[in-house]
Structure 1
């Protein structure tokens, strides 16, 4: 029997315009024969809850949901678009006594005028302010060129401007809005089929066979709609979170077909499709690898920059005014100062405003409420922590498992959110409770079919989640692979050929059973059963071989003549086998280093002793370099490490010339650390930070400089690092974000590089009264790194114009350009002088680091290219002796180079940061110790001296490797623990 139509809650006649709207939808459903909401969900591709709430009369559904409901019931979409618009206008202008408003926003102020972490939707257009200029530019672009690729940092508002800005500008054009997910072509086919009212299977098959049929399918849909009702000329396709085609889609061919379909539909001579794509800016390089997109990208891309102060003012004040609220002037000033020039600040600002609204005083949003919420930096983390603290122990563990599953780990990029099907989650009471509470807190978004993190800002701003990711990154990669393998196994009807075997099975067995779902445990159990059966078959085969061995004894005499050759061959095979085992063990050691560091060190040490190879050397250095993890949360780490609150963390490091002190700025303060023993850092003093960006010590280490988010130059006396003392602060007067600060070796002159394309020189000989000396112009793009030469006579600067410029600053009041170094194909992000000043090292978005001979300025020449990174080179550094250098990048790789021969640098070590993207590198001491800072603000200490590594390795071991563990990682090798008798 078919499912009975579900009963609906009676409508509230006092709900004003919403009563009439919901009653009309219910009448339309009655006329269609009262289909069940399950049937409507299958037709519309929306969840049951979404469709039923559309006709509940409590809030106005989005226009897209309304039209899908109408289309499934056979109604007139054009008529209902007008009805929806009239209802939205009526709700917006409703009297406060009615308590109505679009999308659950009443003008009475009883519901918030801010969306928090959620994206603005088309129905929120009346509350979307501050992006009018950008919206106009995007609409004009789409009208002229039909294809728009919108690039912007995470949290820059790409999704909101497309949904609440661009879509309402095309009121008579139907739209398809979707995210690609793991199967973008299938998702696209499902949306097209729902629009046409046909089964998605044939559409998907056609798009797979020939992606250009997308264009024809759109024309057919529009032609059908013209026959059924008023003329519809075009379709607007919005693909949000396009980066999912790289982070979630594993099929390169499907990715290419999907992009080909979109580009052809927009570029065809008789095109009836306009396509808008929103993609994170750190995936620009990935986009250039798509053949269908690379040719059109120069004419189709449009950047989303940070909002101006006036735009921020409108985004803060206008929604409040719509809801008859006021914003305290002190709060407005603070909000603009905190958000201005900060990449990715918009969701944090919106969430802070939402939390401030919850703490409002009458109809006023106040500075006191904002501070109580935690401010723009802490509001989101505070909300997440309050949610987490309210859970009991078992539910906290369930929350950890759930949030880790909802993050797509970056491969050369920062981590992103992951949309997870409900069937991937276990429906345990703890999981369901956590999901409900996190959804109420607006940390997660859930519908009938999927769950996802509301905004990626949560990944950056919740320290606890960042720590979970740092601690479990290697395990999470294994777990994610296991999830995909389980899905494949189920989709192929439990095909035994898809089960895990060998090393993959052994690695997966190390995953905690409690972290696995029932589906994943069933897959592992089936894999272990198949492995046992295979082992039993091998044993039977071995017994048969042994019985045959007696017969072979007769051939022994014949074999004597070839014995010597056999022995040599056997020795060769044994050596090759042992080498292969050692290399595989080295790889396993790197994987284990995060959650089993003691075992990892022993495996790496044994592998290196077995086979002296680059991979075993790098594995040993990797396992010994994992020391510090941030950001801080309460409680001790696993594996006996120090509590996290005693570990350096932040996003910007500074180290004086002697390397004995480390300063870390994390946006709210600067913490100073004693680094005399880098493996046991000791916290010293703390300064105020006010959203600090770049910081730098003077050479003697007695003064610390920094530039905060408001563009103010600050100086502190850190002669006693336990008691830092503020000396002065003054505006830099840069009109853009200040990216970098540098100090001349004599400590008397500083430089600041800014996104206003200029460099400013400062006299800091009197730290209490810094004065501007000169402004350097000439770069045609954002100025990023600035660095003084060791003798202080020149200054090097890098820019988004792809150039490195060298300036004569011997007289800082009249600085002049000396040389312009060209050759990088993209932005220049990092610079470092060699200690003798004869060589310059630069790092770029083109994935390379370059060496320049500048010993005879203005003459200069390129020495070589260090082109072994697979993504942006974010930071470079020379050791104080000049014989080595380090380059790091978004690909998570830390590369050390032997610079003895400047013309032919030799790789010294190729290390892998298990926590992904590396943002900064700084040398600490002359012995080669250096630190790196990850995208999650974690600090890691490294050294590349193999002799020292061999001497120190066993000091890091707790407990000797067992025989069982040895046989797993070194099969068929005699048990020889490298650190015996370790307790």
Structure 2
């Protein structure tokens, strides 16, 4: 074994380096002279003496020192560098002997001898790697994929293997690899840190090509499965070559704990392993030893215990000392963080946020960066300090340095360390803006400061708002500041030119007025001048309209009412693409009116039973009553002081005559609110020794429960609210309480505490409550509880929501766990009909969960700028009130412009011919919606085993066809859409199906997909479809099929970038169109059948005359990513396009050869996969990767009427003049808009 492999301390490193120097016969000064770098001999002396270590940025200098000292072999240099990294990771006190555990770091190939517990999975994977092909290894974050591939598979292969991660430039990374087996670890980086879609597509294609002659393995995080499905090359691997890395079984996890210790000669105290297994055991009993994602926490706890034990014996005391599974990671990170100065704490925050990739539609992921990239946005004077901060986290294995790469050791840290999770959740949207800004600035610099790369319009408005409010922790770096300043300077120069034009307009108008008195000849000259002036005026107005519209988009989440009215003002000022987009997008996004009356965090909102009043309480100590007879326009009734220390809880009595409030002065008050303008305190109840956090009335109104931080719940008789008295005191909680809820029958009380369990009490005898068995399953403190019938919902600091069946409260049963929130769930409420559940979180979001499908993704509603502490449905269920740490109350319209309840990406949609029904297809279900009025779900069709990629109606909407990625075709009878009936299921045997269409006569179904051919099925008898014909000609997967309105023509398009036209009767080829620079994803005919639209991966849509396919009539450019769908309006005058850039666009086709953009529709949080106009042309429906469908009005006038019915309060003169300083105050919505009068403009 080489000497450097035994080095563990900086002293040993210095001694070994000195022996190397002496054997080369050179002095320290000679080394410094030969290296030739700007480094003092004293610094080198510290290295050789073991007083200091080379910094991360001194890596190349260290290599030069090694070369001068006689190390010429690259392998030997690598061993020295490994020793250097090892010492940097573990400075100071360190147990003797080898390291048996890896902490958050993955096992590498050289750690194979310490890798236990995955022997069976390794053997299973290796056995399938005998032939060329692409294999996917899929698992949740923290399941151990990287360690399996690196320390399990590579050593077991017995042949050369190259392991790499894609990084931002995967093609370059691939080109560097050599080996009989290619292993792509962290394949999801293709979708996160790689920003170039073209390179992403080429990389996937290159891997697929390599898999034809070699074994290729890709490790993929499960939550990026949907994005991978969008690449046809990966679909085959998903179907046949996929290995799922699930949680370990008990015997496997035991081996992973015990065997490394045994190999290292370390004793484990009796009972420690059982304790560890018990603490990570999931609530369900299915043989799995832990929940997905907890392995990194286990590994870090073991590493921390080993460090604490000094390598002799692992004990239960060590386990407790490092914080156990739940907090060991957080404790290690906090220890480093709190040991930093305030200035360096700020540096730590910026460093960690730099090392995280944040997107608005996917979970945060770590980024692998060079040290230079990490330090790029730090001034040189600060960079050395930042490097030292990195070193401290490296020492605890929280950050990993691999040669010149720096990254967070594991994504588990992003959620396990509450401080980091808080940094991420406190401004997730801002982090996305900041990251995009930094990358745009870097591109601008690389392109020689090209003015065309600067921000403008809405992107500049959003970036400026973020930069102004970012604060020192997240402020843009020097390069980004220069980019932003240049963008602002350019836009202001353009605006100044426009203002000069406006001033010229005023002067010229005055001249024109005088000229009108002159001769006819002079009048002719004046008219010509007037036309020029009008053109200048219109240009200035268009610029101002676009600016105001972009500002309205930036304000949409924080101040929806103001944003909506600014959009209308912009549209009235001068209709533009931006203003139409802002107006049409408003009704299609979650909408809330904002109440800013409180001066502190709002902790509780509660509706009266009849829904006419709303009570709110806050940290400012006030109880406020609101008239909500107009649900979205609350009117203040009263504000009364309740608790100078702040109120934390409020509840209406069942009859609505009383409100109970409680707070930080340890008391609860009963208020008479029969006259809500003058609430009166009837009684004050003491008894608690600490603040009260929860209050609840029993269903019959005779009892009140108060829950306190003092770990007790008090039950009060409030039959006489003027003289309440104590019935009983419920004790036994290990920590302070967080919430309390009565069951609807009043016999059971649920109490949550800052512990992991939910306490249940039988209170049938309220003077002698009986403690029932606790509900166990949450892994961190439980924060909120709510009942509906026999179902209890709870939310906790483990970021989950759990449902419990309490039909038998003595034997409560876990029903489901909902994951999705990125921080603790602190608020929870059932809808009145029990079909939905609303939750609020420290992640600043509200989520609406569909309880009719427990696997569906929630609808996410953003707007609060801080923690959402309370949510409450109105009795009608059409409105939701929320309150939070941003001191606001929000009243949300649940009129459902956003259709949720889907499972993952929604791929496809179709309207029934009469427009009454909408079908949406996701993975692996189809939802049927009644969209004749306010949208409502009618049925969920199940049975498909994979993503549903196509749906199509026929026969007046009574027949629905669906196709999926498992080559399955299903036909459904929708005569009764509430009770759909499966007519037939056909295994087509043609691979993944990407597209399907039914002929206008309803007799033929065309499907196409990965097998290059187009298949026609006779569905005259939908119970027995028969394959009738096959069209061949495409040279790649077929992604698009469309019938002409008369059914005589069939158009197809695909991965070979061509569009092909066929005669339907005999599938005779009629023509081929080329020209697209990417896959053709969608085709659509207009109503005449002569115009064909195509959407492509080259970011364009094109219009074609089917009589001549030589060249397109028009190329529509405007999207920033692939165009996935195109759709004509019924009258053919408008085209809709949907794109991976998360937008849909409307185009004016009055003259198809000069198609112009009408509006860009924004709001989706993921790629927009398909768009379709309703048959009456009034609505555009879209579906997206954000798990939702949305309905957009197409007529700006209709959208304006909807906005004015919602927007409250009206825009003020001050707000108007802030955004429209040179325009006279003229609110776009009249004061009586709610009465139905049309808005101005």
Q: TM-score, normalised by structure 1?
A: 0.58
Partner residue, 1:518: 478
1:424 has 2:681 as partner: no
Aligned to 2:624: none
Partner of 1:338: 279
1:768 aligns with 2:810: yes
Please state if 1:267 is matched with 2:212: yes
Question: 2:950 and 2:762 mapped to 1: Cα distance?
Answer: 35
2:161 matched to which residue of 1? 175
Quick one: distance in 2 between partners of 1:177 and 1:610? 54
- Report the alpha carbon displacement of residue 124 of structure 1 after superposing the two structures with TM: 1.4
CA apart distance, 1:586: 2.8
**1:786-865 paired onto structure 2 within 5 Å:** 826-827=923-924, 839-841=938-940, 846=947, 860-861=980-981
Q: 1:118 pairs with 94, 98, 105, which one?
A: 105
1:332–1:689 distance in 2 versus 1, CA, 3 Å: farther
Aligned-partner SS, 1:148: strand
**Alignment partners' CA distance in 1, 2:182 and 2:650:** 55
What are the residue-to-residue correspondences of 1:51-450 with 2, within 5 Å?
Answer: 112-170=99-157, 173-189=159-175, 191-192=176-177, 234-268=179-213, 271=214, 274-340=215-281, 341-360=290-309, 363-420=312-369, 421-426=373-378, 427-429=380-382, 430-446=385-401, 449-450=404-405
* CA-CA distance at 1:253 after TM superposition: 1.7
Alignment of 1:878-897 (within 5 A): 891=1166
What is the rounded CA distance, in whole Å, between the counterparts of 2:763 and 2:528 in structure 1? 77
3-state secondary structure, aligned to 1:445: strand
Shift of 1:359: 4.1
| Change over 3 Å in CA distance of 1:769–1:456 after alignment to 2 | closer
Distance in 2, matches of 1:870 and 1:731, equals 44
Give the drift of 1:453: 1.6
User: CA–CA distance in 2 between the matches of 1:147 and 1:730?
Assistant: 44
Provide the secondary structure at the position in 1 that maps to 2:191: helix
Following TM superposition, by how much is the alpha carbon of 1:390 offset from its aligned partner in structure 2, in angstroms? Answer: 2.9
Superposed CA offset, 1:678-706 (max 9, x none): 9x99842489799xxxx999655864789
Give me the whole-angstrom Cα distance separating, in 1, the residues matched to 2:734 and 2:610. Answer: 23
Write the distance in 2 (CA, Å) between the matches of 1:314 and 1:147.
30
CA distance in structure 1 between the aligned counterparts of 2:435 and 2:405, rounded to whole angstroms: 17
The 1:431–1:169 alpha-carbon spacing in structure 2 relative to 1, beyond 3 Å, is: same
CA distance in 1, matches of 2:425, 2:437: 19
1:728 has 2:794 as partner: no
Equivalent residues of 2:927, 2:939 under 8 A apart: no
* Distance change >3 Å, CA 125–CA 476, structure 1 → 2: same
Determine whether 1:490 maps to 2:435.
no
**1:15-49 deviation digits (Å, cap 9, x = unpaired):** 9xx99x9899979x989xxx999x99xxxxxxxx9
CA RMSD of aligned residues (A): 7.2
Q: Which residue of 2 aligns with 1:472?
A: 427
Q: Report 1:884-963 matches (<5 A).
A: 891=1166, 949-951=1206-1208, 960-961=1214-1215, 963=1217
Match of 1:143, SS? coil
- Structure 2: distance between partners of 1:36 and 1:640: 69
Residue 788 and residue 828 in structure 1: after superposition, are their counterparts in 2 closer, same or farther (change >3 A)?
Answer: farther
Q: Which moved more, 1:558-567 or 1:511-520?
A: 558-567
- Could you tell me how far apart the structure 2 residues matched to 1:838 and 1:244 are? 36
Residue 424 of structure 1 deviates from its aligned partner by 2.7
- 1:487: Cα distance to partner? 1.3
Contact 1:147 1:300 in 2 (8 A): yes
Q: Report if aligned partners of 1:106, 1:323 keep a CA contact under 8 Å in 2.
A: no
Q: Any conservation in 1 of the 2:142–2:292 contact (CA below 8 Å)? A: yes
| Whole-angstrom distance in 2 between the partners of 1:445 and 1:114 | 15
State the secondary structure of the residue aligned to 1:500.
coil
Cα distance in structure 2, aligned partners of 1:381 and 1:30: 46
1:458 aligns with one of 383, 388, 413:
413
Deviations 1:361-401 (A, max 9, x none): 98443334333433323222333333333333332322222
The 3 A distance-change label for structure 1 pair 417 and 377 is same
Instruction: Tell me if structure 2 keeps the 8 A contact 1:585–1:604.
Output: no
SS in 2 for 1:961: helix
Q: How far apart are residue 323 of structure 1 and its match? A: 2.6
Q: 8 Å contact 2:564–2:1203 — kept in the other structure?
A: no
Q: Residues 625 and 841 from structure 1, CA distance in 2 versus in 1: closer, same or farther, beyond 3 angstroms?
A: farther
CA offsets 1:401-454 (integer angstroms, 9 cap, x no match): 222222211353211112232353414435334323222232222356443222
Relative to 1, partners in 2 of residues 1:494 and 1:578: Cα closer, same or farther, differing over 3 Å? closer
Provide TM-score, normalisation by structure 2. Answer: 0.47
Structure 2 gap ranges (5+): 36-43, 54-59, 61-65, 282-289, 573-579, 617-647, 664-692, 695-706, 712-732, 778-784, 795-802, 816-830, 836-850, 857-900, 902-918, 952-959, 961-971, 984-996, 998-1124, 1126-1136, 1141-1162, 1169-1173, 1189-1200, 1231-1241
CA distance, structure 1, for counterparts of residue 174 and residue 452 of structure 2:
31
Residues 523-562 of structure 1 aligned to structure 2 (within 5 Å): 523-531=483-491, 557-558=523-524
Supply the distance in 1 between the matched residues of 2:4 and 2:267 (Cα, whole angstroms): 36
> Partners of 2:409 and 2:789 in 1: how far apart?
49
The answer to whether the 8 A contact 1:607-1:616 is kept is yes
Q: CA deviation at 1:626?
A: 9.6
Contact 2:355 2:408 in 1 (8 A): yes
* Shift of residue 790, structure 1, vs aligned partner: 8.0
Q: Deviations over 1:854-895 (max 9, x none)?
A: 9999964489x9x99999xxxxxxxxxxxxxxxx998499xx
Note closer, same or farther for the CA distance 1:905–1:127 as it changes in structure 2 (3 Å cut): farther
> Could you say if the C-alpha distance between residues 24 and 356 of structure 1 is closer, same or farther in structure 2, counting changes exceeding 3 Å?
closer
Deviation of the 1:729 alpha carbon: 5.0
SS of the residue 1:116 aligns to: coil
Describe the shift of the 1:180–1:716 C-alpha distance in structure 2 as closer, same or farther (beyond 3 A). farther
CA 1:573/1:826 → structure 2, altered by over 3 Å: closer, same or farther? same
Which of 105-114 and 129-138 deviates more? 105-114
| Contact 1:148 1:276 survives alignment (8 Å) | yes
> Residues of 2 paired with 1:306 and 1:13: CA distance?
35
Report the alpha carbon displacement of residue 140 of structure 1 after superposing the two structures with TM: 1.1
Measure, in 2, the Cα distance between the counterparts of 1:24 and 1:140. 48
Question: Residue 508 of structure 1 aligns with which residue?
Answer: 463
Equivalent position SS for 2:1207:
helix
Higher strand content, 1 or 2: 2
CA distance in structure 1 between the partners assigned to 2:459 and 2:343 by the alignment: 29
Deviation by residue 1:321-380 (Cα, 9 ceiling, x = unmatched): 223333344432232233344111111111222233344498443334333433323222
CA contact (8 A) 1:147 1:275 kept: yes
